[in-house]
């Protein structure tokens, strides 16, 4: 498989798979939660990465949202250039420096760092004890939510900068054992579903949304093709055709 990526000077997003997104913004190339492994624990990939590892462009920044295996994949990180800047939630630095990376930056919520004139700000997420999303800004602003449930502080995130593109997770909301009291609610508290996207758009006031965290690993109870199917229904019902773009693995758009 070969992927034709947009030119480096064009602001663009490419969906690689799961929460892995290749972002080009103001001349800076960013990859989020890179996972190229065939398995997460004993769960096998359903589709190949949308951009083969050997076809990745030179990366400036790796963003890690939290330490779960399907987001902080050490097997993949070992294969990447150790001079790339890695940005993590504060507390995960040792997990990355132990792999040989030379510039690892741990951010607390609302802290900002700069790489090649691109600013990266850690913002809250509702998922695990040590987790965050990121606002990436260079001319335009991208919100990478990482893994999160819908939560009120998204409104504050949207008020921080005008968001041109929001990368929002839409999978992982259904437990394998749905009859256990409270378990479905607990999963929804930590994972967004397609029905949450219209509310998130309103809180964030984002110009465009690309859904992520779907169609790669069947880690939770919903069928693997359910999130995009439900997302298409929500788009149609809510009239969001100009607001939400579902990208297949390997597909790119400019913004």
pLDDT in tens, 111-125: 999 999 999 999 999
**pLDDT for the residue 127:** 84
Question: What confidence category does residue 9 fall into, taking pLDDT thresholds of 50, 70 and 90?
Answer: confident
What is the value of pTM for the model shown?
A: 0.94
**pLDDT for the residue 176:** 65
Give yes or no for residue 172 having a pLDDT over 60. Answer: yes
Rg (CA), the chain: 17
**pLDDT for the residue 2:** 52
**pLDDT for the residue 174:** 83
Residues in the chain: 255
Query: Which of 38-52, 183-197, 235-249 is predicted least confidently?
Result: 183-197
Please, what is the Cα angle at 193 between 175 and 13, to 5 degrees?
125
Give yes or no for residue 182 having a pLDDT over 80. Answer: no
**pLDDT for the residue 7:** 79
**pLDDT for the residue 154:** 97
Provide the angle, in degrees to the nearest 10, between the axes of the packed helices 226-238 and 197-204: 60
> How many C-beta atoms lie closer than 10 Å to residue 134's C-beta?
26
Pair 107, 87: CB distance under 8 Å: yes
Question: Once rounded to an integer, what is the mean pLDDT over residues 146-161?
Answer: 96
**pLDDT for the residue 175:** 78
Q: Which residues contact 248 (CB under 8 A, 6 or more apart)?
A: 15, 50
Pair 132, 175: CB distance under 8 Å: no
Pair 64, 92: CB distance under 8 Å: yes
Domains of the chain: 12-254 (3.60.15.10)
């Amino acid at each position: 498989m070969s992927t034709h990526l947009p030119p480096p000077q064009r602001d663009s997003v490419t969906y690689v798979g799961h929460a892995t997104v290749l972002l080009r913004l103001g001349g800076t190339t960013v990859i989020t939660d890179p996972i190229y492994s065939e398995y997460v624990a004993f769960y096998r990939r359903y589709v190949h990465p949308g951009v083969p590892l050997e076809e990745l462009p030179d990366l400036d920044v790796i963003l890690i949202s939290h330490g779960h295996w399907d987001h902080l994949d050490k097997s993949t990180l070992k294969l990447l250039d150790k001079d790339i800047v890695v940005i993590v939630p504060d507390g995960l630095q040792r997990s990355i420096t132990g792999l040989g990376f030379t510039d690892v930056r741990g951010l607390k919520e609302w802290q900002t760092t700069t790489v090649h004139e691109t600013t990266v700000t850690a913002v809250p997420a509702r998922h695990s004890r040590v987790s965050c999303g990121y606002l990436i800004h260079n001319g335009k602003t991208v919100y990478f939510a990482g893994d999160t449930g819908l939560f009120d502080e998204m409104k504050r995130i949207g008020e921080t900068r005008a968001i041109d593109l929001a990368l929002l997770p839409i999978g992982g909301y259904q437990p394998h054992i749905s009859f256990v009291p409270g378990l479905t609610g607990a999963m929804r508290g930590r994972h967004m579903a397609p029905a949450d996207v219209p509310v998130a758009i309103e809180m964030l006031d984002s110009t465009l949304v690309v859904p992520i965290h779907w169609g790669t690993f069947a880690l939770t109870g919903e069928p693997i093709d359910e999130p995009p199917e439900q997302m298409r229904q929500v788009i149609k019902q809510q009239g969001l055709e100009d607001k939400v773009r579902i990208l297949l693995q390997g597909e790119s758009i400019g913004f």
